[in-house]
Chains A and B, each alone.
Chain A
Amino acid sequence: MDCEKFDRIVLDLMYGELDELTEAAAKRHIEHCSRCKGVSSGLRATREVGAIALVDPPDSLELGILEAERRLNASLPLRKKLGRGVSILAVYAMRPQLAMAALLLLMIGSTLFFLRGRPGARDSVLITERGVPETEVEHVAIRPAPRLEPSEAPAAAATSAMPKLASAKNEAPATREHDGDKPSEVALGAAETAKDSEPKGAATEAEALPGTEPAADSMDAATAAFQGGRYVEAQRRFEEIAARGGSEAPAAALQAVEALRRQRGCPAAAPRYAEVHSRYRETPSGNEAAWQAGDCYRALGELSQARQNLEALLEVAEYRSRAEAALQELTAREEQVASAKKAKAAAGAAAPAAGAPLPAAPPAEVKAKPKASP
């Protein structure tokens, strides 16, 4: 370091603003240069002598400043106060922790916003879906489920709870069996409705519609097979479900007999209905089985068996009126048969051919249609 450079840094050296290397170099230079040593010591002495002693301000100054600050803050216009508040908030907002917390809240909020409630709210229109393959169904008309009055619900549940499926393919077996074996869609809907409405009652019949609540896949598959006309498969699936037991067992057992009825008619189905009735006597499916057994036995002309099953329904409020009507009709038929026998006996043996028993009259349609059909 030379004297010229020392002159440039002498003040920095005196006030300690040099880096260590330069300071060491300057001190080494002073040791060897008497001129620079004199300059440095002269400035240092001047600084020491000329140091200004600080005067204490009056005590009132600090208090006055604080009081003025208080008055100033109190008299700030609203706009300034707002700006100051924003500035304070901005100081906090710039903190990374706060930014992370805000991001977390945003994520939680958006998740809650986009989370959808459970489908099938009570007031919304219920869309039902049947598991019918598209290739087997030409078109499917889906109707919203009707809202039924609670007083009508029990009777309607047997027939109208299930939305009607207007399918060209499905209508065929219904019309074919209309005369003899009645289409069992009514019973199917009743069974499913009964299954779901057991613990909830009629007021919740809307929830009992198929497809509106999660059901076992096998039940849906069996129902789909039934509606697709694959009665062998449907019977097998329903029997498997019934064999497993549980809350779906009565409805599955009833549906299995329905599928059997579609295959082999009332002669095979009637005793199975009676069996289901005796097994699940206290359930809606059991009652429906009794009704269907009576229906089958009437169709077969076995009036005593039909009477036996129908009389069992007189104790069930939902079936009482229908059972009474059916029993009256049975009585009329029995009287008709008895009078026919008497006439035959009166005719004697003159006309043995005329004494042949009357063919079984087609079963009268029991008007068990729901009061409120969709």
Chain B
Amino acid sequence: MVRYQRGDRDAFALLVKRYNKQVYNFVLRQLRTPALCEDVTQEVFMRLVQNAAEFKHEARFSTWLYAIARNLCIDQLRRLQHRRHPSLDQPLGDAGEGRTLGDALAAQHPSASAERAAVSSQVQASIIKAVDALPDDQREVFLLREIADLPFKDIAEITGVPENTVKSRMRYALDRLKQALCEFEEYARALR
């Protein structure tokens, strides 16, 4: 980022290459609408370009980047509140043979890690469904922790709540996921 602030445009390409996957997935899980997340991800990086001169390196770059992404997602979700959008539990139709949107999204993950690739699409769909079912504040913390890999202190800074509150939300989120995925815990233990 320092290089980009000095006018090195190649540094921006490096930033995009390093962060676009995580930002894209964060936006995807927040919005749950694949058609929108590409535009929102691009908008995140455009905001970065527009405000690059104002970044003072007082916080981590990733913290700043995900704060932008979070704000854009909140704006987008507010707009979507007034629209009907397909539920992940909604069947895709006759051609879908009973598959839901969540199943379809899970099946779109050809690049999952080797370990994850071995897990059935049913497990993936359940994970995504469980994450999507989390309350917004818990899902937000969970995604920032798991996808963005931000420490709790930075998540507290982004969300504007105390660090202990962030940890509580994370704990609740994990408890909910545990209930939803309890049938797969045995599988996880078997992986160890």
The interface of chain A, by Cβ under 8 A from chain B, is: 8, 10-12, 15, 17, 42-43, 45-58, 60-62, 64-66, 68-69, 72-73, 83-84, 87-88, 91-92
Contacts and interface: CB of A to CB of B under 8 A. Distances in A.
A92 B178 CA distance: 52
Contacts of A73: 9, 49
B178 A65 contact: no
Contact of A53 (B45, B50, B112, B171): B112
B174 A47 contact: yes
Contacts of A65: 16, 20, 41-42, 45-46
Interface string B1-19: 0100111010011001100
A17 to B, nearest CB: 6
A45 B190 CA distance: 10
B128 A11 contact: no
Contacts of B191: 48
Given A53-B112, A56-B111, A46 B29 contact: no
Contacts of B171: 10-11, 43
A58 B42 CA distance: 12
25 contacts: A8-B167, A11-B167, A12-B152, A15-B152, A45-B189, A46-B177, A49-B185, A50-B130, A54-B21, A54-B22, A54-B25, A60-B38, A61-B38, A61-B41, A62-B17, A65-B20, A65-B42, A65-B45, A65-B46, A68-B42, A68-B45, A69-B45, A72-B49, A73-B9, A84-B52
B21 A56 contact: yes
B89 interface: no
B5 A88 contact: yes
A50 B177 contact: yes
Interface of B: 2, 5-7, 9, 12-13, 16-17, 20-22, 24-25, 28-29, 38, 41-42, 45-46, 49-50, 52-53, 108-113, 116, 123-124, 127-128, 130-131, 143, 145-147, 151-152, 167, 170-171, 174-175, 177-178, 181, 184-185, 187-189, 191
B34 to A, nearest CB: 9
Given A43-B174, A68-B46, A72-B49, A87 B5 contact: yes
Contact of A61 (B24, B111, B145, B147): B24
Nearest to A47: B174
Nearest to B146: A52
A15 B145 contact: yes
A62 B23 CA distance: 12
A49 B152 contact: no
Most buried by B among A10, A11, A50: A50
Contacts of A69: 9, 12, 45-46, 49
Contact of B113 (A12, A53, A92): A53
Contacts of A68: 42, 45-46
A66 B174 contact: no
A57 B24 contact: yes
